[in-house]
């Protein structure tokens, strides 16, 4: 057997063929599921690229931001949540109302909030669409991601030109106390991964921080709840039903636009909601300690 650094799943357990064996446990099966999504592309690389360099748990990642994302996903799954950085198409769609403001939010000096920017894939699309007087606040609970974002603002030309208009806060969204509400909110938090209480807290926080008429954009992986329900026990199915109910209440009749980004990994829905009357989301007391895309 070749000593390739790669991983595969067997009975919900991660089996790693590597110099450093990683035991599989039921506690990490959600992470393992993520790497199964990567498996086919990774194995194609292994077969097609002779003498391929080292792999990180079955995935060679070319960009430092993606390497950081995978390492944080593996080591801090509960505060990272998403299984892979968003693709460019999803990033552009989530930034749609930054680039194409509705009349209610088409004001000079817009205040824009991104929640869970992660390594900055969606942030890059937001910054590219800014108007000259817009201000951006990034709320990222993971200190490693926050430091990575600060480094990008310091070193990357497209980020440097707007750096003075960007503020980074390292805290959970439910703890974020803003001086004012926001005209545009973009969330990269993978809501289907979290507890019902956490999802309710995140959604209540987004609603609280949005001005009347503001747009709130977020994503969810297509059919992920249905897929998880098939392979999960009763407690997990109950959690998924509660998350679905919270999302349905938040979307209500306020959804402006929905797009399926099938080229994303995994494929995702991008939802866009207009803030009208503030709604009460049951509970709204979870710890929204998560990073996104």
The answer on 95 and 13 residing in a single domain is no
The answer on 94 and 228 residing in a single domain is yes
Q: Is 97 part of a structural domain of the chain?
A: yes
The answer on 234 and 178 residing in a single domain is yes
Per DSSP bridges, beta strands 268-274 and 255-261 are antiparallel
Q: What pLDDT, on the 0 to 100 scale, is given for residue 263?
A: 86
Across 149-153, 195-199, 231-235, least confident range: 231-235
Is residue 10 very low, low, confident or very high in pLDDT (cuts 50, 70, 90)? very low
Percent of the chain having pLDDT more than 90? 50
Is residue 70 very low, low, confident or very high in pLDDT (cuts 50, 70, 90)? low
Q: What pLDDT, on the 0 to 100 scale, is given for residue 91?
A: 95
CA torsion angle for 21, 78, 140, 100 (degrees, to 10)? 100
Is residue 153 very low, low, confident or very high in pLDDT (cuts 50, 70, 90)? very high
The answer on 94 and 53 residing in a single domain is no
The answer on 121 and 31 residing in a single domain is no
Q: What pLDDT, on the 0 to 100 scale, is given for residue 85?
A: 63
Per-residue pLDDT reduced to its tens digit, 131-140: 999 999 999 9
Instruction: For residues 2 and 230, give the distance between their C-alpha atoms in angstroms, rounded to a whole number.
Output: 34
Query: Average pLDDT, stretch 2-20?
Result: 36
The answer on 149 and 97 residing in a single domain is yes
Instruction: For residues 203 and 216, give the distance between their C-alpha atoms in angstroms, rounded to a whole number.
Output: 10
Q: Is 199 part of a structural domain of the chain?
A: yes
The answer on 218 and 266 residing in a single domain is yes
The answer on 117 and 33 residing in a single domain is no
Is residue 223 very low, low, confident or very high in pLDDT (cuts 50, 70, 90)? confident
The answer on 47 and 106 residing in a single domain is no
Q: Is 205 part of a structural domain of the chain?
A: yes
How many C-beta atoms lie closer than 10 Å to residue 62's C-beta? 7
Is the peptide bond prior to 266 cis by the omega test (within 30 degrees of 0)?
Answer: yes
Give the range of the structural domain holding residue 36, as residue numbers without chain letter.
Answer: 6-60
- Identify each DSSP E strand in 4-151 by its residue range: 6-10, 13-17, 111-115, 135-139
The answer on 94 and 172 residing in a single domain is yes
Q: What pLDDT, on the 0 to 100 scale, is given for residue 286?
A: 45
What value does the CA radius of gyration of the chain take, rounded to a whole number of Å? 19
Across 41-55, 68-82, 131-145, 192-206, least confident range: 41-55
The answer on 95 and 190 residing in a single domain is yes
- The structural domain count of the chain equals 2
pTM here is 0.71
Per-residue pLDDT reduced to its tens digit, 191-203: 888 899 999 999 9
Q: Is 27 part of a structural domain of the chain?
A: yes
Q: Is 187 part of a structural domain of the chain?
A: yes
Query: How many residues in the chain?
Result: 293
The answer on 110 and 26 residing in a single domain is no
Query: Average pLDDT, stretch 92-113?
Result: 89
Q: Taking 90 as the threshold, does the pLDDT of residue 232 lie above it? A: no
Q: Is 54 part of a structural domain of the chain?
A: yes
Q: What pLDDT, on the 0 to 100 scale, is given for residue 60?
A: 34
Q: Taking 90 as the threshold, does the pLDDT of residue 219 lie above it? A: yes
Beta-bridged to residue 56, according to DSSP, are 59
Instruction: Look up the CATH number of the domain holding residue 99.
Output: 3.40.50.150
Instruction: For residues 162 and 167, give the distance between their C-alpha atoms in angstroms, rounded to a whole number.
Output: 10
Per-residue pLDDT reduced to its tens digit, 240-285: 999 999 999 999 989 999 999 998 878 899 999 998 755 555 554 4
Q: What pLDDT, on the 0 to 100 scale, is given for residue 104?
A: 62
């Amino acid at each position: 057997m070749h000593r390739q650094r790669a991983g595969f799943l067997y009975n919900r357990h991660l089996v790693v063929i590597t110099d450093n064996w990683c035991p599989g446990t039921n506690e990490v099966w959600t992470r393992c599921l993520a790497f199964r999504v990567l498996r086919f592309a990774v194995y194609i690389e292994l077969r097609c690229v002779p003498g391929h360099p080292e792999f990180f748990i079955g995935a060679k990642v070319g960009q430092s931001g993606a390497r950081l994302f995978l390492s944080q996903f593996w080591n801090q799954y509960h505060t990272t949540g998403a299984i892979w950085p968003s693709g460019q198409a999803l990033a552009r769609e989530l930034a749609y109302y930054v680039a194409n403001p509705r009349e209610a939010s088409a004001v000079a000096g817009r205040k824009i909030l991104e929640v869970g920017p992660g390594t900055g894939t969606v942030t890059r699309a937001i910054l590219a669409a800014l108007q000259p007087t817009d201000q951006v606040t990034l709320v990222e609970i993971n200190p490693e991601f926050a430091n990575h974002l600060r480094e990008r603002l310091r070193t990357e030309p497209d980020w440097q030109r707007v750096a003075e208009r960007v503020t980074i806060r390292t805290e959970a969204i439910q703890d974020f106390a803003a001086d004012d509400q926001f005209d545009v909110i973009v969330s990269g938090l993978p809501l289907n991964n979290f507890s019902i209480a956490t999802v309710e807290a995140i959604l209540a926080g987004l609603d609280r921080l949005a001005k009347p008429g503001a747009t709130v954009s977020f994503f969810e992986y297509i059919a992920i709840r249905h897929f998880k329900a098939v392979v999960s026990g009763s407690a997990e199915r109950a959690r998924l039903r509660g998350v679905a109910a919270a999302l349905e209440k938040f979307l209500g009749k306020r959804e402006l636009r929905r797009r399926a980004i099938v080229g994303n990994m995994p494929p995702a829905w991008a939802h866009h909601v207009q803030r009208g009357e503030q709604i009460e989301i049951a509970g709204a007391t979870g710890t929204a300690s998560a990073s996104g895309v």
